[in-house]
Amino acid sequence: MIVKYEVSALWRTPRDRTRLVERIEDAVRRGLAMRSEESDTAVFFRADDVAVPGERCARMFAVFHKHAAPLDAAVTPAWATALRAAGLLDMAGGPARVDFHTHGWRHVNHEPLEMPGPDGKRRKKCEFGPARDPERKRRDLERGMDRLQTLFADSFIPVFTPPWNRCDAEALGDIKELGYAAISRDDGASPAAPAGLDDFPVLVDLHTRREENPDAGMEALLEELAQGLSRPVCGIMLHHQRMNGVAADFVDALLHVLADCKGVQIRGLRAILSR
């Protein structure tokens, strides 16, 4: 496991709970007022880079159990072992519905970042991009699905979240052919998913924030939340490795507000897929 994690500046200073709830409520009201449809907004929470049932993972699961709110855990298959999966399933037992889906294979970059891409632009990190041999990409996609189906059984859902929220068109075609029902990436990610493969983007990023000023970070986060809730489906991305106590308190407050909000339904990807 070579991914490095750092807690964003936003989560380094505790905030007053009452004022925090008020600000979240304001963002939710603004978002719902912008909706173009009368139906409820479906919200899902996607936790990336899951594999080890450690202390921070347990804290994240506990917050969702407290509110009996569904959680979608994106598991990196090469990091997963039978022992780790058993620990995650044990943590998942409780009031919340926790489902597990595929998050790449090893979460490693294969793109030569020092070279321009086929379009002449700067390359970005990607595990399933144009620099890789097509057969190796497909093999990793297939064995990732097989491993997680074996480890998580009925708690596995056929959804694919690519590392760094990106993959190429070739990989998208393989993902569909291998039996995945949906992909989850950033909003507006390209290329577009092929017909028959649902695309449920994350619109709110809680933990991989880059604002150096905590107040600016909170403003930007709440604006993302408002904009996301104006859409029929709003995905919220978490990273438990970056989730300290302050960040966990925010998720707790957010779930509290959303649970009591008319016009919002907190739903897992399993339920959204079956609509």
Q: Is residue 179 part of a domain?
A: yes
CA-to-CA dists, residue 89 to 4, 74, 96, 156, 257, angstroms:
25, 13, 12, 11, 27
pTM metric for this prediction:
0.94
Task: Please check whether residue 157 lies inside any domain of the structure.
Answer: yes
**84: in domain:** yes
Q: Confirm whether 12 is domain-assigned.
A: no
98-129 per-position pLDDT tens digit:
999 999 999 999 988 877 666 777 789 999 99
Domain count for the chain: 1
Residue 249 lies in a domain: yes
pLDDT, one tens digit per residue, over 166-180 is 999 999 999 999 999
Mean pLDDT, all residues of the chain: 94
Whether 63 maps to a domain, the answer reads yes
The answer to whether residue 142 is domain-embedded is: yes
CATH number, residue 220: 3.20.20.370
Domain with 267, as residue range(s), is 19-274
Specify if 7 maps to a domain. Answer: no
pLDDT (tens digit per residue) in 190-218: 999 999 999 999 999 999 898 999 999 99
